[in-house]
Amino acid sequence: MEIFDVAIVGGGPAGSSCAAFCALAGLRTLVLEREKFPREKVCGDCLNPSCWPLLERLGVARRIRDLPHSKLASVEFIAIDGHKVIVDLPAGDDCEFSVKRSLFDNLLLRRARDLGAQVHEETTVMALANSPESIRDWKIETAAAESFSARALIGADGRNSTVARLCNLLPHPARERVALQAHIPLPRNFGERVVLQFLRQGYSGQAPVNETELNLCLVGAPPTISGLRQWAERHFEIPADQPWRTIAPLTRSPVSCAHENLFFIGDAARVVEPFTGEGIYYALRSGELAANAITKIIRGEDRQLALREFARVYAEMYKGRLWINRLARAAVLAPRVASVFVRAAQIQPAILRLLTEKIVY
């Protein structure tokens, strides 16, 4: 049985980023992905400007820009009573950018494969154990009775991480909210904007993803989500049989990112509020950081020093941003209070401008 330097469970942006950087460093890299790509994913479909340097390092920035997409020029906050505040977004090539996850994720996974990572799609991990040959190595069993061995293991398999569950590290979720997401026909004259609209039942996020489609997200508590859906059907004139994607939990406690020869990245490590639109940046960057740490360890550098440095730069990635994430969560749970905040920002727009700049830069 071939022993890989690193096995990555999950082929989304975190896993693909990590796999690509590991392959670029010459590591024998394995990716195990449960689904068959391309596939859609519950997401706001937005890339923040901070993603572009990472995509350049991955060698895919130009290819991403060539996908069907929208460039987003502003964020429009709408209070329950209809009051609005508009905040401009960065312009130019490195702007706020929206693209369907089916296209984006598929391109990233193909990039990892092209660089030399061995990718197995439609592969479900069923068991994890330390390898008999070395207590530091991992033996991975799949539903198809395949076995793989790896010197390091990466959990990049999302908020309901199978790796974390099999290792007894998955925290209990908080189930106070539900999210629905769909792609619907783009309303006429919608413009190049992201809309964050507070409603009595929760909030709606809206962004065009190409010339014909709008990404529509709804977030509310279980008792109110049906009301949000009815609002969307009326407001956007969409049929009652419109298919919606959903995901839970929206919140859970973070998992420690480094455990000897086990790493967690992306949503498997920390789930951020969809309201802030930062999830893909965190996924890409955490994948790069994990690849850097694993490369040092595989090359024989001090393991504990590499783990400490990874944990430090991982925490640095979130520095100054998590308070915005908590504020966003509070806004979703109390949309009336958030609406008061939006109205106050009409008088002093620098409030929302500061928050927006923290997120997109």
Structural domains of the chain sorted by starting position, each given as residue range(s) with its CATH number in brackets: 3-42+101-174+251-318 (3.50.50.60), 46-99+176-247+327-361 (3.30.9.10)
267: nearest Cα among 111, 41, 7, 50: 41
What's the full length of the chain, in residues? 361
Q: pLDDT 10s digit of each residue in the chain, 361 long? A: 778 999 999 999 999 999 999 999 999 999 999 999 999 998 889 998 999 999 999 999 999 999 999 999 998 888 888 888 888 888 888 888 999 999 999 999 999 999 999 999 999 999 999 866 665 789 999 999 999 999 999 999 999 999 999 999 998 876 667 889 999 999 999 999 999 898 988 889 999 999 999 999 998 888 889 999 999 999 999 998 899 999 877 778 889 999 989 999 999 998 776 655 678 999 999 999 999 999 999 999 999 999 999 999 999 988 766 655 666 666 666 666 666 666 655 655 565 565 555 555 4
Q: What is the largest CA-CA distance in the chain?
A: 66
User: Can you give the pLDDT at residue 328?
Assistant: 62
User: Can you give the pLDDT at residue 182?
Assistant: 96
Determine contact, residues 156/10, Cβ cutoff 8 Å. Answer: yes
Helices of type H across 154-278: 162-166, 225-235
Between the alpha carbon of residue 258 and those of residues 84, 263, 313, the distances in Å are 43, 5, 12
As a whole number of angstroms, the distance between CA 175 and CA 249 comes to 6
As a whole number of angstroms, the distance between CA 27 and CA 116 comes to 9
Element at 109 (helix H, strand E): helix 101-114
As a whole number of angstroms, the distance between CA 33 and CA 49 comes to 27
As a whole number of angstroms, the distance between CA 328 and CA 338 comes to 9
Rounded to a whole number of angstroms, the CA Rg of the chain reads 21
